[in-house]
Structure 1
Amino acid sequence: MSYCKKCPYCGIDFVTNDRRAVFCSRHCARIVTNTKRYSLAREKLEQRLCRTCGKSLALTKALPSSQQKYCGNSCATTAKWTRPSYRFHQSQVHSTGRHFYWHVCLQCGQSFGNYIKTSISKFCSVKCKNRHQISRRLATCAYCGKNFVTLNRPKRGKFCSCRCYTLKRQAMSKETYLPSPQPKRVCLRCGKNFFDYKHPYTLLRKFCSVKCARQYAFADSAARQRMRKIRLLHVFPVKDTKIEVALQDELRKRGIKFVTHISLIICQPDIFLPEARLVVFADGDYWHGCPIHYPIPTKRQQEYIDRDSYQVAYLTRLGYRVLRFWEHEIKKDVVACVDRIVNVAAGVTSKFGQNRLIQI
């Protein structure tokens, strides 16, 4: 059902389905409501005097008359603590069931009461607390013993300067955190003399450094072999390189089955074809020391070159075919590299010794 009404603010006739509607829009309703609130809040009632200081107090309709007895918070607080119901002895109990205690202000010397029994409550007001902290006092430096003037604060003013503070901290650290050393001990690896401290976790210390401890642990050949087997089971690297991904994508396009980073006794090849017993490595030009780009290898590159040569010789002795591709070869023509892999794998015999071609 539609109703035809007239807006009391702008005077426009409007049609609405709500019979309780008064204004034509929210804009008109908001203006009228805010105007009424403002006029109600500013409308003054009777004149009243503050109960503490006696100043005239203009009452308004914004607050009930029971809350308009004082001109401000300071007068209300003063009246609260001077009220007879709050002035009683420490042994008495307030109407709320809590004990009430009296203290003496450190700044002005006046007595004041609250519910805190400990020495935390030291000042009767924030003004007295600020005045007490701003005031100065004579103190003695805890390091050099010199007298100096500092702020009147309980946790400040222990040292006359930053230099004394730093020297005191250094002295405390040497006394507290560095215990007296025990007699010298001899390292089981290098034979060097070293001091040991009386800490629980170093009572059984036998080596002068972590390096000597590791060298002593891997001195046994059985321990080295055991650690080598454990490391071969770890998949490394976690993320394949770009040249490895390029070879893998091309092999997948041709439907060739392969596995990546499988443990083969002494190494983890980048790509391994189990049926063809073919091992493929994708070597970076920098890390593996490409002779074209790096004719004079560094010490690290020479170590990688020697390791790669040993791996190729060892795997060939076990009956594997090994192919190594340089980074620039794969980036230049990855299809040619995969063609070479297919051609080599096509003529390899199976691991059972039967002279048959591997169909790929």
Structure 2
Amino acid sequence: MTAAPLEAPATSPTARDPAVTSRIMRSVRSKNTKPELALRRAVHARGGRFRLHAADVPGRPDMVVRGRKVAIFVDGDLWHGNPAEWQRRGRSSLSDLFPTRTAWWVAKIERNMQRDQDVNRELHARGWRVLRIWASDITADTDASARVVLTALRERA
């Protein structure tokens, strides 16, 4: 049995010019994404106050309320390994999402997921409440996501 190639053959319909892939990947934002901005607006409109991307807090959360020790992360579904993303795309596993360089991409996403768990453990050990909200949940119902944040803030008051 031979291993699957890491790159799609040049004639493959999934093959893409590396320059195009590079341009696409450069455009992927790590902060101030549309779901993050929507959640921030909704929380702020309801009286929630927070700091952004605190570099001194493990994991550099998207939103931080220091006085209440609440860290909020807006996790992109693909990059952080949301199984609902696989199903939405009609796939049964993470590896099914990547037709080329499958092993590399799966390892990358799994490292992201492990890092998320490590950050959660570190923050919990320091007494923080950690909220991780999927970008798709914010997109589907921003108000419900904002209520989750505000409830956590009230509970830590």
Work out whether 1:283 is the aligned partner of 2:75. yes
Closer, same or farther: CA 285–343 of 1 in aligned 2, 3 Å = same
State the AA in 2 paired with 1:264: D
Whole-angstrom CA distance in 2 between matches of 1:327 and 1:300 = 19
Aligned to 1:312: 120
Q: How does 1:28-107 map onto structure 2 within 5 Å?
A: none
Q: Does the Cα contact within 8 Å between 2:36 and 2:135 map onto a contact in 1?
A: no
2:148 is the counterpart of 1:340? yes
Q: Which runs of 5+ in 2 are unaligned?
A: 1-28, 87-92, 96-105
Per-residue deviation, 1:309: 0.4
Looking at structure 1, the residues matched to 57 and 71 of structure 2 have their Cα atoms a distance apart, in angstroms, of 13
2:131 is aligned to 323
1:284 is matched by which residue type in structure 2?
G
2:67 maps to 1:269: no
CA distance in 2 between partners of 1:287 and 1:332 (Å): 18
Q: Quick check: 2:42–2:143 contact (8 Å CA) kept in 1?
A: yes
Q: Secondary structure at the match of 1:275?
A: helix
Whether 1:302 and 2:94 are equivalent positions in the alignment is: no
Where does structure 1 lack aligned partners over 5 or more consecutive residues?
A: 1-236, 349-357
Partners in 2 of 1:329 and 1:264 — Cα distance? Answer: 27
Which of 74, 84, 99 is residue 292 of structure 1 equivalent to?
84
Q: Which amino acid aligns with 2:66?
A: P
Secondary structure of the 1:312 match is helix
What are the within-5 Å matches in structure 2 for residues 1-360 of structure 1?
240-294=32-86, 295-296=93-94, 298-348=106-156, 358=157
More strand by share: 1
Higher relative contact order (CA 8 A, sep 6+): 2
1 or 2, which has the higher helix percentage?
A: 2
Which moved further from structure 2: 270-279 or 316-325? 270-279
Contact residue 59 and residue 119 of structure 2 kept, 8 A: yes
Give the C-alpha shift of residue 270 in structure 1. 0.3
Cα displacement string for residues 267-319 of structure 1 (whole angstroms, at most 9, x for unaligned residues) = 21001112221100000011111112233251111010000000001100100
Change in 2 beyond 3 A, CA 1:313/1:248: same
Structure 2 CA distance, aligned partners of 1:325 and 1:265? 18
Hey, what's the Cα distance between the residues in 2 that align with 1:322 and 1:238?
Answer: 18
Q: 2:94 is matched by which residue type in structure 1?
A: I
Indicate if the aligned counterparts of 2:137 and 2:145 stay in contact, CA closer than 8 A: yes
CA deviation after TM superposition for structure 1 residue 239, in Å: 5.5
CA distance in 1, matches of 2:148, 2:41: 15
| TM, length-normalised to structure 1 | 0.30
* Superposed displacement of residue 238, structure 1: 8.0
